[in-house]
Amino acid sequence: MTTTPACPVARGPRGLPVLGVAAEYFRDPAGYTLRLQEDHGGMVDVTLPKPFVQVTEPEAVDRVLRGNPDNCTRGELYKGFIGYMGRGLLTLDDPQWRPHRKVVQPAFSRTRITADAEEAVAATRVVLERWATRAGQVFDMAADVMAISTRTMGQALIGRDLSVPGLGYDRAAAIASKVMYTRTVFGVNELLPGFLNTRYQRERRWSHRVIDGVVHAAITSRRRSGVERGDALDHLLASDLDEQAIRDDLRTLLLAGTDTTGQALAWTLYELARHPAVRREVEDEVDRVLGDAAPTPATRDELVVTRSAVDEALRLHPPVWQFPRDLIEDDVLAGRSVPGGSTVLLSTYGTHRSAEHWTDPEAFDPSRFRDGSTRHRQAYFPFGGGRRMCIGRDLALATLVTAVAMTTRRFRLTLSSRPVRVGTYITMFPSDGIHVTARERR
């Protein structure tokens, strides 16, 4: 029996000595990702300045996440996350990660998610009442809907509303995303020494104080009260994990859950505002299924058009748009030979917009998630895949469907003339906000 030898990974542009293609990349990271895919295919060798293999081919993604995950570590680039997330659920390799995951898994049961999604109802109502006072005014919708995420996730994870005015959690989380991205893409801790009193360093120190303060207050308050909620905080405090591990896991859950869900909600409402025909489909479904009632677990399951709009927004704007793994030993990914020690950067954004796997990939077409089409299971992976799939996936989706349904039932959003620009740190976000006017439907 003979086997066909694996092909080498396509070589991308070499760029400059040391810096590689950094200058071109940072002008438009998301756009450059798509150009690399178009010019060189689903696996391409890049230097930025650290060398890595950009992976957008679903078969290769599947091999990394599901087929041979034991050959992967979180890798060098994940060290950039440790400053904020410590050694917890996101940064630990699988053998050390399993006990942490086992501890918090009960906090994401179906029963817990049902209860936590009720908080999304209350959080959305607060934002919608605020919009009702802004008739005819242009405002940044993205900033407002982030409060839905921070309140819902904060209550679900630690029993605290993180959207309260004056706390500054939203801004602290955004700065954390920027700092972690800077450390990750350069493969170094910082380009400038920490003792320099630059704006970057001041913001970094301030965001650490806010996030650490939230975690410390949650732990102290829960221990003093002795009241059990059955949330992630309770399960961590009742575990055998040491104090530092508890704090690291809480920071990880908060940072990973709030920003991603908030950005996904903003992008979904943005796409509905851009596409009136799809918006009317969602309106018709929401009016028929919900009437004047709040979403429940049963009615959320009936909101198939609304859910498909969320799925399609997650395809076009995956909040975590790329993430790395390091290979331990040589492997073959989608027929390409990749040596051990290589960093592979799985590009969710590139895969989701690949013309090889999606018809008219730049179009917003939620019906593609309802037409029964067969596609590779890793052609769509906004929450990752395999055993390390995002633990908060179901809570995030329940929050998104709830908030989109309630918003669409009450308001029609119209985009202002101000352009919406894409920013890319750890998450993909509207860098200048999404400015709209809101008109009540009834």
Query: Where is the binding site for heme, in residues?
Result: 390
Return the number of other C-beta atoms located less than 10 Å from residue 14's C-beta.
11
> Distance between CA 115 and CA 122 in Å, rounded?
12
Return the number of other C-beta atoms located less than 10 Å from residue 292's C-beta.
7
Whole-angstrom Cα Rg for the chain: 22
> Distance between CA 29 and CA 422 in Å, rounded?
10
Cβ contacts of 11 within 8 Å, gap of 6 or more: 40, 44, 45
| Binding site members | 390
Contact 255, 176 (CB under 8 A): yes
State the distance between the two ends of the chain, measured CA to CA, in whole angstroms: 71
> Distance between CA 143 and CA 433 in Å, rounded?
7
Strand segments, DSSP code E, in 1-81 are 7-8, 10-11, 43-47, 51-55, 72-73
> Which pair of structure tokens corresponds to residue 79?
């060290």
> Distance between CA 310 and CA 142 in Å, rounded?
16
H-helix or E-strand spanning residue 338: strand 336-338
Phi then psi for residue 90, to 5 deg, are -95, -35
Torsion, CA 83, CA 225, CA 117, CA 408, rounded to 10: -80
Rounded to 5, what percent of the chain is helix, strand, coil?
Answer: 55, 10, 35
